[in-house]
Amino acid sequence: METGKVYLREEGRSVTVVHPDAGLEVPEHIQNKWQNLVDLISSIFQVPSSLVMRVDTRSIEVFLKSSNADNPYRAGDKEVLGHGLYCETAIGRDEMLEIPDALKNIPWKDNPDMKLGMMSYLGYPLKWPDGSVFGTICALDSKPRNFEGDMKQLMAVFSSIIESDLKSIYDYSQLNDENRRLDTMIREIHHRIKNNLNTVISYMQLKKNASEETVQQLVGDIEVRMRAFAGLHEKIYRSISLNPDFSDYIQNLAREALTAMGRDDIDLSLKVDNITGSQFSLDAGMVVAELITNSVKYALPAGDSTGNPPVSEDLRISLEILADRGRVHMRYSDYGPGISDTHSQGFGMVMFEGFAQRYDGEFALSGDAQIIWEFRNLLPG
């Protein structure tokens, strides 16, 4: 949220008010509706001016004005905040303001609206549903007057109507933002599914010239990869929000990947900061799933004839994903016999190098007894 300062004349001080980070547009059909309201106020109250005012961080603007010929205000006129217009006090106090006669009220007798001869005022603040300020709806007269109770009730009703419209505008904007995030996620998921299916197809094509033992190894490799991949997507779709908590998401995904491969016994150390960006979340999840898959498959020496690792060879995995001044550093390590030349040219390495390149970072592999995979200076964007 952004802020601005309005001046309270009677109190002789400024107060800070909150504005939305980005200006939301008021659609034309809603502006036409509000125009009818200010015209109706001017007619019923018999005043020369009825206005809808809008504020930003530095100024207050005549957003709409009643269309009667004797209205001295012009749509689009602006005044710098801090000069103490009637509307600033209504906004700063966040309540109705009535000034029956500015000439008899010392703090108000030289306010900027008096330059246009407006000596009486009735105004109500208008707010967005998140509590930030939109402006005011007000009536002004060139002669002293007390606004009757039914006039105040009618203005309160009109301000409620406008705030209901502001809520509709706000909710519509939020819905569009959610739809854009959903579209981005769907495109990314489609891309990843397509790439992984192509990988499966490529593996299966090797079956033509492979021995039975090799085929079994390949099928096992496919099963492990697809289990981890399916767990990743299940986690994404189970997320209540389209922008899930990154730390929880990665930690849960890592544990689910081990569960899918029947290795809940593995010692898993995790330290993950919260990082924004749905595309980065998806890509980082894919990398984590692939790293864990490789650890389970290759980090331990061969076990007995059933494929079980020796009991004495406990696998330990450590993962850190830390944010630092807009960049992300990711460090993954396991303990085992290392990585062979064959595996160093495989699917995973291509994925890791592509991940680092996509996010303008660096990838490095090091270690002997402890293998360390590092992704440095990633820019999640």
Helix (H) or strand (E) holding 278: helix 278-298
Lowest mean pLDDT among 148-162, 170-184, 234-248, 255-269: 234-248
For residues 166 and 234, state if they share a domain.
Answer: no
Q: Let me know if residue 103 belongs to a domain.
A: yes
Q: Give the global pTM.
A: 0.54
Burial class (CB in 10 A: 0-12, 13-18, 19+), 46: exposed
Q: Let me know if residue 341 belongs to a domain.
A: yes
For residues 217 and 136, state if they share a domain.
Answer: no
Q: What percent of the chain has pLDDT over 70?
A: 73
Residues 6+ apart with CB under 8 A from 206: 214, 218
Rounded CA-CA distance 196/225 in Å is 9
Burial class (CB in 10 A: 0-12, 13-18, 19+), 180: exposed
Which comes out higher in pLDDT, residue 203 or 90? Answer: 90
| Location of structure tokens 């939109």 | 134
What's the chain's average pLDDT?
Answer: 81
CA dihedral 350, 351, 353, 355 (to 10 degrees): 160
For residues 139 and 235, state if they share a domain.
Answer: no
pLDDT tens, position by position, 162-205: 999 999 998 888 888 777 776 666 666 666 666 666 666 666 66
Which comes out higher in pLDDT, residue 232 or 96? Answer: 96
* Predicted pLDDT at 249: 84
Is the separation of the CB atoms in 333 and 364 below 8 Å? no
User: What's 155's domain CATH number?
Assistant: 3.30.450.40
* Predicted pLDDT at 219: 65
For residues 167 and 227, state if they share a domain.
Answer: no
The domain containing residue 122 runs over which residues?
2-173
Last residue of a domain, one of 173, 199, 219: 173
For residues 41 and 107, state if they share a domain.
Answer: yes
Rounded CA-CA distance 308/299 in Å is 13
Q: Let me know if residue 350 belongs to a domain.
A: yes
For residues 262 and 373, state if they share a domain.
Answer: yes
Q: Let me know if residue 309 belongs to a domain.
A: yes
For residues 223 and 275, state if they share a domain.
Answer: yes
Is the separation of the CB atoms in 300 and 207 below 8 Å? no
Q: Let me know if residue 11 belongs to a domain.
A: yes
* Predicted pLDDT at 158: 96
Q: Let me know if residue 195 belongs to a domain.
A: no
pLDDT tens, position by position, 42-51: 999 999 999 9
Last residue of a domain, one of 127, 158, 173: 173
3-class DSSP state for residue 19? strand
Is the pLDDT score of 305 beyond 50? Answer: no
Q: How far is CA 252 from the centre of its chain?
A: 22
Q: What is the mean pLDDT of residues 2-26?
A: 82
For residues 155 and 240, state if they share a domain.
Answer: no
For residues 7 and 154, state if they share a domain.
Answer: yes
Burial class (CB in 10 A: 0-12, 13-18, 19+), 312: exposed
For residues 15 and 121, state if they share a domain.
Answer: yes
For residues 294 and 362, state if they share a domain.
Answer: yes
The dihedral through the CA atoms of 79, 80, 84, 88 has a sign that is positive
Q: Let me know if residue 71 belongs to a domain.
A: yes
* Predicted pLDDT at 312: 39
User: What's 250's domain CATH number?
Assistant: 3.30.565.10
Q: What is the DSSP letter of 48?
A: S
pLDDT tens, position by position, 346-373: 567 778 888 888 888 899 888 665 678 8
Is the separation of the CB atoms in 365 and 340 below 8 Å? no
Strands (E) across 290-346 are located at 316-324, 327-335
Q: What is the DSSP letter of 265?
A: T
* Predicted pLDDT at 314: 65
For residues 162 and 223, state if they share a domain.
Answer: no
Last residue of a domain, one of 152, 173, 194: 173
What is the number of domains present in the chain? 2
Q: Let me know if residue 217 belongs to a domain.
A: yes
